[in-house]
Amino acid sequence: MSRNSQPAERSLTVPLESRSYPIRIGLGNLQDAGSEIARRTKATQAVVITVPEVGRRYGAKLARSLKDAGMRPHRIEVPDGDASKNLRQVKRLYNALIDVGADRSSAVIALGGGMVGDLAGFAAASYLRGVPFVQVPTTLLGMIDSSIGGKVGVNLARGKNLVGAFHQPRLVWIDADTLVTLPARQRAAGFAEIVKAAALWDAEFFGDLERDVDDVLSLQPEALLATLQRACEIKVEIVARDEREAGVRKLLNLGHTLGHAVEALHGYKKVLHGEAVAMGMAFAARRSEQLELAPEGTADRVRALLERAGLRTELPDFPRADYLRAIGTDKKRRDQHIQFIALRRIGKAETVSLTPAQILPAGALPRRKKARPVKAAGRKR
Ligand SMILES: NC(=O)c1ccc[n+]([C@@H]2O[C@H](COP(=O)([O-])OP(=O)(O)OC[C@H]3O[C@@H](n4cnc5c(N)ncnc54)[C@H](O)[C@@H]3O)[C@@H](O)[C@H]2O)c1
Ligand SMILES: [Zn+2]
């Protein structure tokens, strides 16, 4: 597709008073990032933090753009995978930042998915008590969720995201063309968080997604940009009302109580975060109907849309006791009760305080497959 027939670039603002910042969404706009980064950070050097896979594909283009804008670019790579989101890598980043002489006139730029954004953002929040930070997300999840809102942090061996800070970026720069190289499975997982945003906030957008799901996942430019824009707007609206997650921002945890449990029960392997959220959301919608909070048919629409994106919606086959334990150790637990996010209808969510056993009563899980007889287990076919 020729460049001038492409839909126009979109721009929105995260309104947080003196910490307000723009989100710019385009196609093939990575080479233009440098001048805006220079303008927003006033930095003379730029330290790009990325993973090898993303650095190899997009690092040179971003570096050229930074150079053209008069900044000295550096690149630091961390190993791929959420296992890198830890304090050891943070320490490595501090040392690398010292090595390149980074000071408050240097910007830290996260180029990659949510893992890189959270890790680089945490380094930027704490190095010299905070240096300017820019998000250049290259996953669908990063674009519409993790790059917006200023939550940064790392995992500890004892739990995910237990250490962190709020450090708003100066700019979020989205080149949706980078999604071309993102594996389809990652694309679908990011789409789950888009469905989440629509389900909890905007019924009309949910309808748009039902119409456009195939076009979005095949990266048809119009549908993709419109969807990115609306999903970003929703996150922005929620963050602007509740920067520190005291109230409405909690609604973004729709599908995450069971989602986190599914991830934990899989030892954080095998299932992607968005895939687990899809299962958790389908469950939350069904449970909302059972609790007579949401009208009949709500859960079917949620499930059908997720399945059209190729996402699984049945909770995996673990014993109920394991689920209850996993829900109980969710860090959002408060006394015995948990803030469960329920749907009132498509486009509206609310927090209800429930115990793990109320969230997951006996019989709420699909019937377990019988364990195969020991005799047959080892037999080859
Ligand atoms: N801060 C927040 O508010 C927030 C919100 C949601 C999630 N998160 C965090 O985000 C992380 C998950 O983010 P994610 O789903 O983006 O995962 P990720 O960052 O691990 O990226 C997924 C995979 O995609 C690859 N990749 C990235 N961009 C690519 C591209 N354009 N082409 C090809 N491959 C590419 C990466 O190398 C990686 O293997 C988790 O650590 C989660 O805790 C944070
Ligand atoms: Zn999530």
At 53 the three-state DSSP class reads helix
Counting ligands in written order, the one closest to the CA of 238 is: 1
Pocket test of ligand 1: the residue of 30, 146, 268 to mutate, having most ligand atoms within 8 Å of its CB, is 146
Distance in angstroms (rounded) separating the CA atoms of residues 148 and 319: 36
Q: Convert the pLDDT of each residue in 288-323 to its tens digit.
A: 999 999 999 999 999 999 999 999 999 999 999 999
Proportion of the chain in helix, strand, coil states, percent, rounded to 5? 50, 20, 30
Question: 49: which strand partners?
Answer: 76, 110
Helix (H), strand (E), coil (C) string for 200-265: HHCHHHHHHHHHHHHHHHCCCHHHHHHHHHHHHHHHHHHHHHCCCCCCHHHHHHCCHHHHHHHHHH
Give the DSSP per-residue string, 119-162.
HHHHHHHHGGG---EEEEE-SHHIIIIITSS-EEEEEETTEEEE
Q: Convert the pLDDT of each residue in 227-263 to its tens digit.
A: 999 999 999 999 999 989 889 999 999 999 999 999 9
Exposure of 376 in the CB half-sphere (CA atoms within 13 A): 5
The owner of tokens 């990011």 is: 190
Active-site annotation holder among 273, 286, 287, 303: 273
Residues of the chain with CATH 3.40.50.1970: 10-178
At 347 the three-state DSSP class reads coil
Contact 164, 152 (CB under 8 A): yes
Cβ of 36 closer than 6 Å to ligand 1, yes or no, is no
Q: Is the pTM higher than 0.75?
A: yes
How far is residue 148 from each of residues 16, 111, 120, 311, measured CA to CA in Å?
12, 14, 14, 24
| CA of residue 139 to ligand 1 center, whole Å | 6
Is 253 one of the catalytic residues?
yes
Cβ of 44 closer than 6 Å to ligand 1, yes or no, is no
Question: 23: which strand partners?
Answer: 12, 172
Is 273 one of the catalytic residues?
yes
| CA of residue 174 to ligand 1 center, whole Å | 14
pLDDT at site 5: 59
For the chain, what is the radius of gyration of the CA atoms? 21
| CA of residue 113 to ligand 1 center, whole Å | 3
How far is residue 241 from each of residues 202, 233, 294, measured CA to CA in Å?
16, 12, 25
Element at 23 (helix H, strand E): strand 21-26
Element at 345 (helix H, strand E): strand 337-345
- The CATH H-level (homologous superfamily) assignment of domain 229-359 is Dehydroquinate synthase-like - alpha domain (1.20.1090.10)
Residues of the chain with CATH 1.20.1090.10: 229-359
Can you read off the two tokens belonging to residue 51?
């993973």
Low-confidence ranges of the chain (pLDDT < 50): 1-3, 333-334, 376-381
361 Cβ neighbours under 8 A, 6+ residues apart: none
Is 344 one of the catalytic residues?
no
- Burial-class residue 70 by CB neighbours within 10 Å (0-12, 13-18, 19+): exposed
Pocket test of ligand 1: the residue of 30, 50, 139, 277 to mutate, having most ligand atoms within 8 Å of its CB, is 139
Is 292 one of the catalytic residues?
no
CATH architecture of the domain 10-178 equals 3-Layer(aba) Sandwich (3.40)
Pocket test of ligand 1: the residue of 27, 30, 119, 141 to mutate, having most ligand atoms within 8 Å of its CB, is 141
